[in-house]
Amino acid sequence: MSLYYVQKLLYQINRDPDFRTRFKADAKASLADFALTPQEIAAILAPDIGLLYVLGVNGQLLMHFAALHGFEWNAYLDAMREGVRRHGAVRAGIYAMSED
Amino acid sequence: MPLVFVGVCSHAPGITGRAERADPRQRETFHAALDRLRLAIAASRPAALIVVAAEHFANFFMNNMPAFALGMADRYEGPIEDESWLRIPHACVPGNADLSRRLISHVLEEVDVAYAEEWKFDHGIIVPLHFLTPSYDLPIIPANINCQGPPLTPLHRAYAFGRALRHAADAVPERIALIGTGGISHWPATPNSGKINEAWDREFLDRWIANRPARLLSYTDEETYRNAGQGGFEIRTFIAAAGAAEGSTGEIWCYEPIPIFAVGCTVGVMRLTP
């Protein structure tokens, strides 16, 4: 479990235009410096927004990662809901879906 | 000079990024209140505007997260978000490093604040500025309270930070205005985005305008998370503004719950006692 490094990667992509360019050009290579599990790497490369949400990625990071991949607002919200349907409740962090 | 202005407003990215999807009447009411706030800030003739914000990992990450930070640069830039997503063009925003340095030195007498000579604005600052200083012609002193990565600073420390900013502003010759920007109850960037606890918001705003610390600071983070969502942790920015106006009471110029903006859109001011 290396949620911290998943989030750090997304933080770099969001705020650093040079890193973002490198990520867009060769996503797999840009992950090399981050200690990630195979599941996390797959979720980032897909990208599987729903799984990243369930793993506990902070929404303020994930929101921009989804936008980078062209997720329109409603599609982004739907991707998170689909993630919960497929993988169960959010496992970490403060961005869990509430039931009501 | 004594602090010349204290107010608060919302900063949600949907305010600009999804503007056309809001109820037009609500949106116009909110915009009118923001414009009133713009005029009120200008009428206070400030030399600089402190913006107490709750950023979202634009500058500070969990590798080294300050509870409080103040910018100390002559220029800032933003937004970090994609221009087409936020619909605010990338711009340089003036700061005042010399004034920041003096303010920070005073704040440090009371609160251990980090300083930052680089600072990229995210929607938490640039959305308010888009409405309040749209020409970016007023020097900005960015301030941040960590509202994202727990453990979070206690509410009474956020109030103390505001009080320290007030004392610092009082100690420099320049006229300083201050706004706090954040959400009250909201669940941004979750599938519950759009949920708003209006009753909780109105109770909080009642406490904010009364500005009695015992009531304003009595929320626990567990209660806030349950009733106001993780976005509710941003009340620290409103509380810092109240601390900056300790001894004064306030008024709310706008509260419009706008689900597509994911927050109860708020504009409030403190009636500063001389």
CA distance A55 to A1: 9
* pLDDT tens column, B132-142: 999 999 999 99
Cβ of A15 within 8 Å of Cβ of B58? The answer is: yes
The predicted-structure confidence for A28-56, as pLDDT tens digits, reads as follows: 999 998 999 999 999 999 999 999 999 99
Determine whether B236 is exposed, middle or buried from the number of CB atoms within 10 Å of its CB (0-12, 13-18, 19+). buried
Query: Which of A95, A99, A100 is the best residue to mutate to test the B interface, defined by the most B CB atoms within 10 Å of its own CB?
Result: A95
The answer to whether the Cβ–Cβ distance between A11 and B57 falls below 8 Å is: yes
Contacts of A73 in chain B (CB under 8 A): 14, 17-18
- pLDDT tens, A17-27? 999 999 999 99
Q: For residue A43, is it within any domain?
A: yes
pLDDT digits (tens, 9 = 90+) for B242-270: 999 999 999 999 999 999 999 999 999 99
- State the total domains in chain A: 1
B1: pLDDT strictly greater than 90: no
Contact between chains at A77 and B188 (C-beta distance less than 8 A):
no
Looking at every residue in chain B, the average pLDDT score rounds to 97
Nearest to B56 among A4, A60, A73 (CB): A60
Whether residues B189 and A4 touch (CB distance < 8 A) is answered with no
Could you tell me if residue A92 is inside a domain? no
Q: Does residue A82 belong to any structural domain of this protein? A: yes
Q: Which of B15, B20, B56, B200 is most worth mutating to test chain A (most A CB atoms within 10 A of its CB)?
A: B56
pLDDT per position as a tens digit, A77-91: 999 999 999 999 999
What is the per-residue pLDDT across B113-133, written as a single tens digit (0 to 9) for each? 999 999 999 999 999 999 999
* Residue contact A15–B82, C-beta within 8 A: no
Q: Which residues of B touch A (CB under 8 A)?
A: 14, 17-18, 56-59, 61-63, 80-82, 85, 120, 148-150, 187-193, 195, 225, 229-230, 233
B188/A60 touch (CB, cutoff 8 Å), yes or no:
yes
pLDDT band at B53 (very low <50, low <70, confident <90, very high): very high
Q: Is A95 inside any structural domain?
A: no
> Is residue A80 included in any domain, yes or no?
yes
Is A59 within 8 Å of chain B by CB? Answer: yes
d(C-alpha A69, C-alpha B239), whole Å:
36
Find the CATH number of the domain harbouring A76: 1.10.700.10
- The answer to whether residue A72 is domain-embedded is yes
**B18, B57, B190 ranked by CB distance to A61: nearest:** B57
What is residue B136's predicted lDDT score, i.e. its pLDDT?
98
Among B18, B150, B191, the residue with its CB nearest the CB of A73 is: B18
Exposed/middle/buried for B160, CB within 10 Å: 0-12, 13-18, 19+?
buried
Domain of A24 in residue numbering reads as 3-87
Question: DSSP of chain A, one letter per residue?
Answer: --HHHHHHHHHHHHH-HHHHHHHHH-HHHHTTTS---HHHHHHHHTT-HHHHHHHT--HHHHHHHHHHTT--HHHHHHHHHHHHHHH-S--SSS-PPP--
- A1: pLDDT strictly greater than 60: no
In this prediction, the answer to ipTM > 0.90 reads yes
Q: What is the pLDDT of residue B137?
A: 97
For chain B, domains (ranges, CATH) are 7-252 (3.40.830.10)
pLDDT tens figures, B151-201: 999 999 999 999 999 999 999 999 999 999 999 999 999 999 999 999 999
Residue B104: alpha-carbon gap to chain centroid: 18
Q: What per-residue confidence (pLDDT) applies to A98?
A: 79
Q: B130 vs chain A: nearest CA distance in angstroms?
A: 20
Of A52-56, B28-32, B80-84, the range with the lowest mean pLDDT is B80-84
Which residue from A8, A59, A80 is facing B61, i.e. has the nearest CB? A8
Q: Do B195 and A94 touch (CB under 8 A)?
A: no
A96, part of any domain: no
Residue A75 in any domain: the answer is yes
Q: Which of A68, A94, A97 sits opposite B192 (nearest CB)?
A: A97
Residue to mutate among A10, A23, A73, with most B CBs inside 10 A, is A73
pLDDT at A100: 60
